[in-house]
Chains A and B, each alone.
Chain A
Amino acid sequence: MTLDLPLIWAGLIAFAVLAYVILDGFDLGVGILFPLVRGERHRDEMMNSVAPVWDGNETWLVLGGGGLFAVFPLAFAIIMPALYAPIMAMLLGLVFRGVAFEFRWKTRRGQFLWDWAFAGGSILAGFAQGVALGALVQGIPVEGRAYAGGWWDWLTPFSLLTGVALTVGYGLLGATWLILKTEGHVQRRAYDIAFIAAPATILLIGLVSLWTPFLNTVYATRWFGWPHVLLAIPVPLAVLGVSYVLLRGLTERRELSPFLASLALFVLCFIGLGVSFFPHIVPNSVTIWAAAAPDNSLTFLLVGAAVLIPLILAYTAYAYWVFRGKVNSVGGYH
């Protein structure tokens, strides 16, 4: 029996990216919402709700990027230069918000500066990730083994829309996370924000989804062609169902279901992207198998991944379990 190693690795990297998007998504979202909640004590509470987990969340980004380099070096070599500006903006944003976690507690006078660094960095990183996604979806010109476009190609109305969509979506994740993790003033604010962010996210998902098939005919075939449509049609239906759960959870003032429904929205969008992309890794030009490193490289790293990724998942789950419950402004959980 031979294993289809490139396919296994594509699944692992897709998993790492999804894990990154939903995990770092809510803590970026908390940063995005920082300007909407006034009062240092309330902001302490917001930051404390993600403080124990944020950099574990961000580690998945390194795993996704590092994995892409290791396993699909050709895709890495084409995509990174194509998304040059958004990637650089994302890195700078992540650096700003990352150090803000440390530095905000080291000064009283300068605290407002690190508040801005945290919010600004989170917004920049979220928006840049959305733009990068849009730029990838709209297609990248490839010549030989390299990116063949210009360095402004990423900037289109479509990529700006995906940038806004992801920022709003992260805001929704952040708001529903805060509903789950906080009480009192912050939780009330989070409900208010979620009431706006939820319909906005659903609307933006709809816009992006309707626009995508018109970007090129390959996407249209994958979504509407026979028999693909049988596989594709459950995705938008599920989005509708989850949207209902989300809005209902919010109106009934539930604490857990809005967060889970928001996560489900992200998972469904990710599956939708998978439908559009597969079997390409660089949309419409390079397939998973063409981009893969030789099998001996894939096997060599798979041995380690097979041991370590389950371990990582286990202690990630354990950490979240221990940090269950509400947070308060002095960092305690009760």
Chain B
Amino acid sequence: MESFDALTLARIQFAFTVSFHIIFPAFTIGLASYLAVLNALWLRTVQGAYLDLFNYWKKIFAVAFGMGVVSGIVMSYQIGTNWSVWSDKVGPVLGPLMGYEVLSAFFLEAGFLGVMLFGRERVGPKLHFLATLMVALGTFMSAFWILSVNSWMQTPAGYAINEAGQFIATDWWAVIFNPSFPYRLVHMLLAAYLTTALVVGAVGALHLLRNRANPAARIMFSMAMWMAAVVAPLQIAAGDFHGLNTLEHQPAKVAAMEGHFDTHAGAPLILFGIPNAAEGRIDYQVSIPYLGSLILTHQWDGVVRGLNEWPADQRPPVGIVFWSFRIMVGIGFAMLGLGAWGLWLRYRRRLYDAPWLHRAAIAMGPSGFVAVLAGWITTEVGRQPWTVYGLLTTAQSASRIDAAAVGASLLAFIIVYFILFGAGTFYILRLMNAAPHSHESGLAPGQPIRAAGIMPAPAMAAKDALPTAEKEPVS
């Protein structure tokens, strides 16, 4: 089949593996901060419920973090196997940034993770809290560098091109803090926080439905609803700023998101419709006149450029971008609604006594992941046909590999990922299904001491294990 050439297969493979990967960081970035907050609250209030919650989510964090790491290792090699021309050309600029990601963040997270998971009794509560903070900082640093790399490809800056055709850095500051980076970083971090809040809220709601007196369930549900109420509006605002930044640097992407084929002044806001790329119009559209211009240009008759201004081979695929954008925005407003509902019931003092709110929160539990994926699909498909925007096309970036090789490895990844990450998700759901109880243990019974890193951490863990080992009958 003509369309299933090596390039298409390589794109599908990258989309598949990166989509699987982003699910885990989106969750662990938020969860690491949540664990730090729980730890701080426990230190301040000495309420056992906070410690129980910390131990409860810690076990879930460990599994999700592990899956994030292994799926991330795949990404770091895949850029070479499938996208070797891209690697050669952007390596001098993006390689050091990714190098810093590995060096600082990976080792910081992995280094202190062991202390966080196993070391409280050994290092004392203060140092243990520091380790928890360092893990949270590590996840942030990971996000910082990776989003800087991605943003540079969307809005390249601070570079020159050498005689070998490689991008080289002329100004590292401009490379790292490229024009779209601050917006993307804020938007993604808020997304991670919201995603985690909704998962925590759903788990809290589930256990409230079963027993509305469970103190740990009440705490996590309340905290999650506060997060939804506060962060959802912030995220909508951040998304708007990010959209305006995209309009400035990647107007074709915005045109695809909005479904505008023709340039016009006073453009409508298209709510729904079926994009018809062949005819260059949106069929069955439901739109609000002038609102598109008002949102994008902050003037009711502002000019909004349509896709027809770009040659056909420089337009992103409209259908995917149009829909993924609407899914993301729709979920964002649903989160806003959930947060507002929670605020209202809290004001009425019925937050823990509202089965329909709890059911809604459970239903919304996975929505953060859907929104994150939809958002990334919008920005990544929307920048097509480019990998480095306006400078290097996706087609030019790919390795010259036989379609059979890419197809075979794609198939292997699909099978393996569904088996392994399916099992991992099952184990996580099983942990979530168990109610948090007082004196929650930090480790699954029988689980060995392992550091998920190395470092002083396991060290502490080993000492922890000493008394246990001594109690065992000598064999």
A residues whose Cβ falls under 8 Å from a Cβ of B: 44, 47-48, 51-59, 61-63, 65-67, 69-74, 76-81, 83-85, 87-88, 91-92, 94-96, 98-99, 101-103, 105-107, 145-147, 150-151, 184, 293-294, 296-297, 300-301, 304-305, 308-309, 311-312, 315-316, 318-319, 321-323, 328, 330-334
Contacts and interface: CB of A to CB of B under 8 A. Distances in A.
A274 B363 CA distance: 58
Interface stretch (B239-247, B276-284, B458-466): B458-466
Nearest to B13: A88
B102 interface: yes
A9 B401 CA distance: 29
Contact of A56 (B71, B92, B454, B472): B454
B162 to A, nearest CB: 7
A132 to B, nearest CB: 11
A103 B92 CA distance: 39
17 contacts: A48-B448, A55-B66, A57-B454, A59-B110, A65-B80, A66-B98, A74-B88, A78-B84, A80-B80, A88-B412, A91-B78, A146-B85, A184-B475, A301-B96, A312-B111, A319-B455, A333-B466
B87 A328 contact: no
B456 A319 contact: yes
A53 B451 contact: yes
Given A103-B423, A146-B399, A312-B107, 7 more contacts: A51-B450, A65-B80, A85-B409, A293-B95, A300-B169, A304-B99, A328-B469
Residue of A69, A79, A296 with most partner-chain B CB within 10 A: A69
A102 to B, nearest CB: 5
Interface string B94-107: 01101111111011
Residue of B62, B102, B404 with most partner-chain A CB within 10 A: B102
Interface in B77-92: 77-82, 84-85, 87-92
Nearest to B17: A91
A334 B189 CA distance: 43
B449 interface: yes
Given A81-B81, A297-B169, A103 B454 contact: no
A88 B91 contact: no
B427 A106 contact: yes
A20 B91 CA distance: 22
Contacts of B98: 66, 69-70
B: contact size bracket: 35 or more
Given A73-B91, A147-B84, A332-B466, A301 B420 contact: no
B74 interface: yes
Nearest to B160: A294
A52 B458 contact: yes
A103 B100 contact: no
A332 B73 contact: no
B87 A315 contact: no
Interface in B424-471: 424, 427, 430, 444, 446-463, 465-466, 468-470
Given A105-B444, A331-B465, A99 B80 contact: no
B41 interface: no
B413 interface: yes
B286 interface: no
Contact of A73 (B104, B166, B405): B166
B200 to A, nearest CB: 21
A76 B87 contact: yes
B172 interface: yes
A322 B470 contact: no
Contacts of A297: 91-93, 95-96, 168-169
B453 A55 contact: yes
A316 B454 CA distance: 6
B265 interface: no
A56 B469 contact: no
A331 B475 contact: no
Nearest to A23: B454
A156 B399 CA distance: 22
A301 B99 contact: yes
A78 B85 CA distance: 9
A99 B77 contact: no
Top 5 nearest A-B pairs (CB, nearest first) are A73-B91, A332-B469, A70-B95, A80-B80, A56-B454
B92 A77 contact: no
A331 B447 contact: yes
A76 B101 CA distance: 18
Contact of B448 (A99, A309, A331): A331
Contacts of B400: 81, 146-147
B416 interface: yes
Residue of B73, B457, B468 with most partner-chain A CB within 10 A: B73
B409 A48 contact: no
Contact of B77 (A44, A87, A102, A304): A87
Given A106-B427, A297-B93, A65 B472 contact: no
B168 A56 contact: no
Contacts of A145: 85, 88, 164-165
Nearest to A294: B168
B3 interface: no
A297 to B, nearest CB: 4
A76 B80 contact: yes
Nearest to B453: A56
A99 B99 contact: no
B130 interface: no
A182 B166 CA distance: 52
A333 B95 CA distance: 40
B406 to A, nearest CB: 9
Given A66-B76, A67-B99, A91-B74, A99 B423 contact: yes
B472 A62 contact: no
B313 interface: no
B227 interface: no
Given A77-B80, A333-B469, A95 B451 contact: no
A34 to B, nearest CB: 15
Contact of A103 (B85, B110, B424, B452): B424
Interface in B154-191: 162, 164-166, 168-169, 172
Nearest to B97: A70
B472 A305 contact: no
Given A73-B166, A294-B162, A80 B444 contact: no
A59 B81 contact: no
B2 interface: no
B320 interface: no
Contacts of B401: 81, 84, 151
A102 B62 contact: yes
A251 to B, nearest CB: 27
A169 to B, nearest CB: 22
B69 interface: yes
A59 B427 CA distance: 25
A166 B111 CA distance: 29
A301 B93 CA distance: 11
